[in-house]
Amino acid sequence: MLCGPALSQSQTPSTLVNGVLSDSELGLRYTPPSKMFDETDSARESVRRRAAALHSTAVFDVILSMGFGDDTSPDWYSVNIETFPRARLSTLENFAAKARVNVLAAGARASQIGTPQQATFAGQVFVVSEFEQKEPPLTKRARVYTTIRGSKFLTIAFAANSIESLQQIADTTRTLEFAGQAASYLGFDRNDYPGDNSIGELHNTFAYAGYWLNNPPGAKTNTWAGKRSKLEAAGFGFLVLFNGRLYRELNANASQLGGSDAIAAVAAVKREGFPAQTLIFLDQEEGGRLLPEQKAYLFAWVDGVSRAGFRAGVYCSGIAAKEKGGENVVTAEDIRQNAGARHIAYWVTNDACPPSPGCVAHGRPPLPDASGVDFAEVWQFAQSPKRKDVARGCERSYAADGNCYAPGSGQNLHVDLNTATSADPSYGRNRR
C-alpha cells in the first residue's frame, strides 16, 4: 500500500538532519514524527527492483520513507514522500492530475473513500484523498496529499492501522515549509451585491469576492443570484458561501436538516454555474464550542456536499471564547478536533487588532495563518461595521462611522476584508 513503482531520488538527494527533511530541488522542509525508523534506502532498492521487473518508466522518485512498528501491529504508521513527473499526466488539469497521482501512490489494492478534496498548506495547494485496505483483522487507512513543485508532482502519503494514528501523523503537515514566500490575495465579502457598475473598480483592489448561494444573514432576498458570470468576466475569483442555521433553528433532527441544506447548497451552486469540486463554505455565525446539535448539523452538511462532488468548508470564528470554567475555545479548532476523517476547509474570522492590521486594503495582505489559526485557508481580518469590543487597537484604520469602505467607492460600499493564498479560494472559476 502507498507505494507505486519508484526509483531513487536523482540530481539533488534529500537529507534528514536532526530529524528534519530538507530537499533543495523541491525547496521542501518537513519534520516527521520522532521515533520513526528511516527506511528510505531499503524502499528505494525495493521499488527499483520492482520497476525493473515491470520494465516501467512511469515511476515515482522516493524522497523519504519512514515507519513506526510492524505493519501488522495496531499501532503501526508510516509516511512516504515521493515525486512524479507532471508531464506524465499532461492531458489532465491540475486537480484531476493530482487526484490521479494520489491513486497511483496508494496502490492497486487500496480502495478510495469519498471524493478528493483540496487543501492549502504553507502556501501550496494540495489535493487530498482517503483510502483503505482491508488486511483482516486490520484495516489499513491512508491519507495522500499531492501538490505541484516546478515540473513535478510532490506526494506525501500517510498510512496507519487506526484512524486516530492516521490523524496524528497527518497533522505533521503543519511542519511543511516551502522555499519562497507564499503569495497572499486580498478579497472582499458583503451581504449585498455591489452592483454591475462597481465590479470593475472593485477588481482594481480585490482578487476575489464572497458569493452567497442563499439569503445572507438577516436578508430576505439574495442579490448575488445570477451574477457569477459577470464577476468572472471582470476577473474575480470566488469565496462561495451558504448561510447555515442558528442554534435556535435546530432540533432533534439537526442531522436531517444538515443533509437537506446540503442538497439545497449543491442545487444552488450548480444553478449558478460553478464547476464540480467548487469549495462551498457554510456560514457558522455562532462562536465558541459548538453544541451537539450544531455539530450534527454541520457534519451532515459537510458529508452531503462532499458526496455530491463538491468540497466543503466552514466560515467560523478564529477568536478564543472563554467558557464558564475559564477554558478558551476557538470555534475553528473545536470543529477540526471533532471532524474525524472529514476534509474541511476553514475560513476564519478574527478582526482583533492584533493580529489583524485593521481596515487596510493596500499593500500585500497578511497570510491566513497569521490569524492565529495555522490551518486557515482564508482569514477575514476586517468587518463592517467594526466590532468595537475586539477591533479597538486599529479603529483609526476604519471610517468615522465604523465601517470599512472599498477604495475608490467613497463611502458607498462597505466591505469585509479577507486574505487567502489563492486568487480563487473556492476554485469557482471555470477550469479550461
Structure confidence by residue, pLDDT tens digits, 367-398: 898 898 988 999 999 999 998 888 877 878 99
Q: Are the CB atoms for 409 and 388 separated by under 8 Å? A: no
Q: Are the CB atoms for 147 and 98 separated by under 8 Å? A: yes
* Residue 118, pLDDT score: 77
Q: How far is Cα 282 from Cα 313, in angstroms, rounded to an integer? A: 6
Q: How far is Cα 422 from Cα 257, in angstroms, rounded to an integer? A: 32
Q: How far is Cα 231 from Cα 257, in angstroms, rounded to an integer? A: 31
Cα-to-chain-centroid distance, residue 72:
32
* Residue 170, pLDDT score: 87
Beta bridge partner(s), residue 265: none
Domain 6-178: which topology? Protein Transport Mog1p; Chain A (3.40.1000)
* Residue 59, pLDDT score: 73
**Which of 277, 240, 234, 274 has the alpha carbon at shortest distance from 93?**
277
Q: How many CB atoms lie within 10 A of CB 101?
A: 28
Helix, strand or coil, per DSSP, at residue 317? strand
Residue 365 DSSP label: P
Burial category of 304 from C-beta neighbours within 10 Å (exposed 0-12, middle 13-18, buried 19 and up): buried
| Backbone phi, psi, residue 20, to 5° | -120, 130
CATH (one of 3.40.50.170, 3.40.50.620, 3.40.47.10, 3.20.20.80) for 185-420: 3.20.20.80
Cell of 406: 472599498
Q: Are the CB atoms for 184 and 367 separated by under 8 Å? A: yes
* Residue 94, pLDDT score: 84
* Residue 55, pLDDT score: 66
* Residue 229, pLDDT score: 96
**Which of 93, 30, 141 has the alpha carbon at shortest distance from 432?**
93
Q: Which residues of the chain have pLDDT under 70?
A: 1-15, 51, 54-58, 181-182, 410-411, 431-432
Q: How far is Cα 336 from Cα 51, in angstroms, rounded to an integer? A: 40
| Amino acid identity, position 33 | P
Burial category of 55 from C-beta neighbours within 10 Å (exposed 0-12, middle 13-18, buried 19 and up): exposed
Q: How far is Cα 89 from Cα 402, in angstroms, rounded to an integer? A: 51
| Residue positions counted in the chain | 432
Q: Which segments of the chain belong to CATH 3.20.20.80? A: 185-420
**Which of 77, 46, 274 has the alpha carbon at shortest distance from 164?**
77
* Residue 56, pLDDT score: 61
* Residue 289, pLDDT score: 92
**Which of 261, 271, 272 has the alpha carbon at shortest distance from 302?**
261
Q: Which segments of the chain belong to CATH 3.40.1000.10? A: 6-178
Cell of 139: 484495516
Kindly provide the b/e burial profile for residues 274-302, where b requires at least 16 CB atoms within 10 angstroms of the residue's own CB. Answer: beebbbbbbbbeebbbbeebbbbbbbbbb
